[in-house]
Amino acid sequence: MAAAVVGLAVYWLVRYVRFRQFQLLPVYTEAAGRMWLGTQVYLRTHDPGATTAPYTYPPFFTLPFVPLSLLPPVARSVLWFFITVVALVGVVVLVRRCVAVVLPQKAGLRVAAFWSLLALLVARHVLGVFETQSHDLLVVLLLALTGYAACRNRDLRAGFWAGVAAACKATPLLLGPVFLWQRKYRATALFLLVVVAATLLPDVLLPSKDGCPWCVSWYRNCLAGIQPGDTAFAEDSWSKWCEFNQSLAGTVYRLSVAPLPGELNVDGRIWSPSETVLRRTTLGLQLGIVVLVGLATWRGRRAALLPTQEQGFLQYGQVGAVVCAMLLLSPMSSKAHFAALILPVSFILADLFTRRRDPLVAAMLALMLVAGSLTVKGLWSRHLGDQFLVRGNVCWTTLACLIATLRTIRQRAADPALLSTAASADLPPVAQKAA
């Protein structure tokens, strides 16, 4: 077993270093190198000094790559590979601790089935992180720390890790309104404090020579042009029609607009609305996602009657629901971003193997398997795989995951068996034995 793991690690290391289709690590390290020198971080491809695709992430997420930018290319690739592996191991350990609340690791075949099905449903997204040398697993690790803190009913720690995640990538900002919606005011305050402090930290450590704050440069170059209900566009990086953008806005756009010359020659249109109708339709669908998240994160009275551990496990599922919404509501969600689905999928599967099966949840999982895991290009031709992507198969499986997460949260919160367990726990020992 150990030899197999080592062999697999060596294989992926070689593949990781030699993969040349589209590597993101040079994008990160070039931006970090420019921050180290105090020059403009957010350059376009045609700008003087730019040698990679545009860098579009918040300034705080540039700091970890400053030391890497000082290393030779091969050394930084090897080091980044092991950093990514460590992040993945950390995510798996945290997920294991969270699901152990309801699925003890001594459960034998159920545990083996849980991990096998979890790997089957999320492996394609995790492998995408390694192939593109993406930093998404660092974000997933921060989200997993948030989920673990929530599972342990430690609101302040959840607020802290959520704030760090939001400073690294804008989409976790959705956790802030959720904390407020759940009346976790101290967690909300700490979340905001961490976001502001982390965002301003690069200007304290490595200020820009032109005097313009890094966060202002980031907003002007990466966010100012995005309108509500619109899909992301980055010059020389991705177009509005990019098939790799599996967000809700990106998918609806491809289903409504024909590709331009030079883009992928796959027309996935199912209608041809005007620009106004398209934007309103996208906004309406995004509002529906917000409603689903509101229902998933609502602190109902029944949930408050559950045992403390069960309440924590439900909060872990609520973090998973927010993760689904982050991926769907973002203007740009590339395939590697969906590695974060390990959180909601683990919550759903842990419930599936410990409680009565629900037909709707089973149907959503089947959809995720058929339309997600079984549509990888390795199983089909490249052209057919592109057809799946253009029509948003990853987007729709994420929506299915959100629906299954919501269903699991609502059913678990109202499970009579769990409520009776909580009630008996409040009885004196003699009464518990009689019950």
**194 domain residue, yes or no:** yes
Residues 386, 398: Cα–Cα separation, whole Å: 18
pLDDT at residue number 426: 46
pLDDT band of 230, cuts 50, 70, 90:
confident
More confident: 331 or 289? 289
Whether residue 328 lies inside any domain: the answer is yes
* pLDDT, the chain, mean: 85
Nearest one of 169, 192, 194, 168 to 179, comparing CA atoms: 192
pLDDT number for residue 427: 39
With pLDDT > 90 as the criterion, what percentage of the chain qualifies?
53
Whether 356 is covered by a domain: the verdict is yes
Same domain, 84 and 211: yes
* Domain membership flag for residue 425: no
Whether residue 124 lies inside any domain: the answer is no
Q: Is the pLDDT of residue 126 over 50?
A: yes
Assigned domain for 7 exists: no
Q: Which amino acid is at 317?
A: G
Instruction: Tell me: do 249 and 311 sit in the same domain.
Output: yes
pLDDT band of residue 335 (cuts 50, 70, 90) is confident
In terms of domains, do 165 and 298 share one? no
Q: Assess contact for 121 and 345: CB atoms under 8 A.
A: yes
pLDDT at res. 13 = 56
Closest to 319 (Cα-Cα) out of 136, 145, 184, 164: 145
**Is the same domain home to 304 and 337?**
yes
Give pLDDT tens digits for 263-287. 777 888 898 999 899 999 999 999 9
Q: Is residue 119 part of a domain?
A: no
Looking at the chain, the whole-number percentage of residues with pLDDT higher than 70 is: 86
pTM value > 0.85: yes
Q: Clarify whether residues 204 and 249 are in a common domain.
A: no
Same domain assignment for residues 338 and 398: yes
- Does residue 399 lie in a domain region? yes
Q: Are residues 144 and 284 in the same domain?
A: no
Under the banding of pLDDT at 50, 70 and 90, the label for residue 260 is confident
Residue 434: pLDDT above 70? no
Q: Does the pLDDT at position 117 exceed 90?
A: yes
Q: Are residues 220 and 290 in the same domain?
A: no
Claim to verify: residue 285 and residue 179 sit in the same structural domain = no
Mean pLDDT score, 383-387: 83
Number of compact structural domains in the chain: 2
3 state DSSP class of 393: helix
CA distance 351 to 101: 10
- Model pLDDT, residue 286: 95
Domain span at residue 392 reads: 243-256+267-418
212 and 328 within one domain = no
- DSSP string spanning 69-111? HTS-HHHHHHHHHHHHHHHHHHHHHHHHHHHTTTS-TT-THHH
The band of 226, judged by pLDDT with boundaries at 50, 70 and 90, is confident
Per-residue pLDDT band at 1 (split at 50, 70, 90): very low
